[in-house]
A and B are shown apart, each in its own frame.
Chain A
Amino acid sequence: MKGESMRNDEREITLGEYLAARGVSRRAFLKFACSLASLMALPPSAGIAMAEALAKAKRPSVLWFPFQECTGCTESITRSHEPTIESMIFDMISLDYHETLMAAAGHQSEAAREQAMKDHYGKYLLLIDGSVATGLDGAYSCIGGQTNLSWLTEAAKGAAAIIAIGSCASYGGIPKANPNPTGARAVSDIVKDKPIVNIPGCPPIPAVLTGVLAHFLTFGSLPELDPLGRPKAFYGETIHDRCYRRPFYDQGRFAKTFDDEGARNGWCLYELGCKGPVTYNACATIKWNAGTSFPIQSGHGCLGCSEPDFWDKGSFYRPLSVAHWGNKATLGGAAAVGVALGAAAALAARRRQDKIVKGD
């Protein structure tokens, strides 16, 4: 109970006060806000506006539900080796429920969830990672004896907005891969009457979540989204368009194998199946591990993990321009049918000639 009241007290104070109490200087906070504004392609003045709005904002209650997932998304967002923009997300919000990160367990954690939902009905942010199992009425994935499906439908009613983190929550992801034994669905397939932001990726880029949260706190609304519900600021361009190897694509310089001279020279990985041209994400610009690198920079093509059904789109190593050929026998049959039709047509023509010659 003491812990709960402490959390509530913390929430009453503004984010600026909270950070000041934690020793975060105004200068560091301004830098943080400006870099977020810049990541979201907002004008330079927006950084200051964002810092001022964030400083005055009350820390929102956030419930993070893990469904059919691998915890990779949580790993992505929490695994910062030093204080970074991503780590500040936890200072911006009051994370009232997150199974992996919270100290409480069992009934205590469920009680915290229910309390937060009751206290902040209509105001809390609901974060979901993992797909929603719908097979057998959702029985494939349960927490505390309740299905993920029932959790989602119940919690969605009181949520101000929902953020689907990772490709599983956004599109169904790997659990939805053919033959989809659990009837996995995306959050947006279940909830239709709430604003939903998809932050796909396997895992997603941490700064995207921070950016969306900062936007929500600053402007009280969700950022502009693309037709797949993704923030345009981060998913507006393809990996290919922003890839540092793009000039090699234009010059026609390609790695043929993962260990040839082209690969060592850092040439384009299109021929090795890179899905960068059809993948919308910010990996090539924001990068990973504090801007160190991203898959293509490490020598492997993009898998297209932030696109719907990436797991079922054929081999990761087949080039994009290559077709998926079906059964060879059908084509052989087609050839035989073609010749037979031609022969029949020629035969019919010969018979007609014969008839004309005979004067019939």
Chain B
Amino acid sequence: MDLLIFARGPGMYWAVTIFVIGVLWKLAGVILLRAKRDLSEARKPSAWTGLRAILTRSWPRRAFVHGTAFSEVLGYAFHVGFLFTLVFYLPHVLFFEDMFKGLLGVNFQRLFGVSWPYFSGGMVSFFGAVAVAALIALLVHRIVNPVKRLISNFDDYFSWLVTIAPLVTGMLAYGHVGAPYQTLIAVHLLSVELLLVWFPFGKLMHTFTVFMSRGTQGMQFERKGATL
């Protein structure tokens, strides 16, 4: 079995399996935790408005903007670049469409009546480059800034590594740089598999928990009468 066959076959299959086990384990573990009973009377009639925190906390506060702008801008640049690269590149689209069809029996085009849109390779390379540049800048900032460095641990650095690896290997594969294409695409797939396996057990899990925790916190604050 050559590397590409492994990466496209058993490697991907088991990585996705571990990803599913891990993500559901973590999510169920958090959701089924007993919520602390709040015996005080609610200060506001409905706490649901606290869901606004999901939006308001996703934007820099004017008072702190000088201190947080660098991380916020680069954070958005990375997330947008990464998302566009992941979702709107044709080989990825084919991968997802096939995954939905093969694993869930869902035909995207028939379900939504439109085909999955995608960008040209050049556009995707641009978004990928933005994501990589942002990640590098954020790493430098993490190392240079004493506070950030102090609160960083192995999880932060390893999560950074498994996130940038698919981007870099994918761009090398797109440009056919450094090795034969089948080696590059195999290494790219293996780097994605490493990401999937690490994902539920490190800080990358924030993808699923970030809005959940922000919403919950907003509702708790709202109940206590805070204005968000």
Residues of A within 8 A of B (CB): 238, 240-241, 249-252, 254, 256, 270-271, 277-278, 280, 308-309, 313-314, 318-326, 328, 330-331, 334-335, 337-339, 341-343, 345-347, 349-350, 353
Contacts and interface: CB of A to CB of B under 8 A. Distances in A.
10 contacts: A251-B122, A271-B90, A278-B185, A314-B8, A318-B98, A321-B92, A323-B99, A338-B28, A341-B29, A347-B32
A22 B153 CA distance: 80
Give the top 6 A-B pairs by smallest Cβ distance, nearest first. A342-B28, A338-B24, A321-B91, A346-B32, A252-B120, A342-B29
Contacts of A342: 24-32
A323 B34 contact: no
Best-surrounded residue of B17, B34, B189 (most CB of chain A within 10 A): B17
Contacts of A324: 8-9, 12-13
Contacts of B98: 318-319, 322-323, 325
Nearest to A256: B115
Contact of A251 (B26, B32, B92, B120): B120
A251 B13 CA distance: 31
B94 A319 contact: yes
B160 interface: no
Contact of A335 (B4, B20, B180): B20
Interface string B1-28: 0101100111011001110111111111
B107 interface: no
Interface in B176-198: 176, 180-182, 185, 189
Nearest to B24: A338
Nearest to B10: A326
Nearest to B32: A346
Contact of B29 (A252, A318, A346): A346
A319 B118 CA distance: 16
Contact of A308 (B2, B20, B118): B2
Given A318-B98, A342-B24, A331 B33 contact: no
B119 interface: yes
Contact of B185 (A320, A330, A334, A349): A320
Contacts of B180: 238, 280
B39 interface: no
Q: What bracket does the count of chain B residues touching chain A fall in?
A: 35 or more
Given A322-B98, A323-B98, A331 B17 contact: yes
B94 A271 contact: yes
Given A338-B24, A341-B25, A331 B103 contact: yes
A185 B39 CA distance: 77
A331 B12 CA distance: 12
Contacts of B34: 346, 349-350, 353
Interface string B84-124: 00000011101100110011000000000001001111110
B95 A323 contact: yes
Nearest to B105: A328
Contacts of B92: 321
A240 B184 CA distance: 14
B80 to A, nearest CB: 19
A224 B135 CA distance: 42
Nearest to A240: B181
A328 B33 CA distance: 30
B28 A331 contact: no
Nearest to A319: B94
Interface in B117-141: 118-123
Contacts of B121: 249-252
B88 to A, nearest CB: 10
Interface string B151-181: 0000000000000000000000000100011
A330 B17 CA distance: 8
A10 B4 CA distance: 50
A270 to B, nearest CB: 7
A129 B122 CA distance: 43
A330 B16 CA distance: 11
Contacts of A350: 33-34
Nearest to A348: B29
A278 B181 contact: yes
A339 B9 CA distance: 25
A250 B99 contact: no
Contacts of B25: 337-339, 341-342, 345
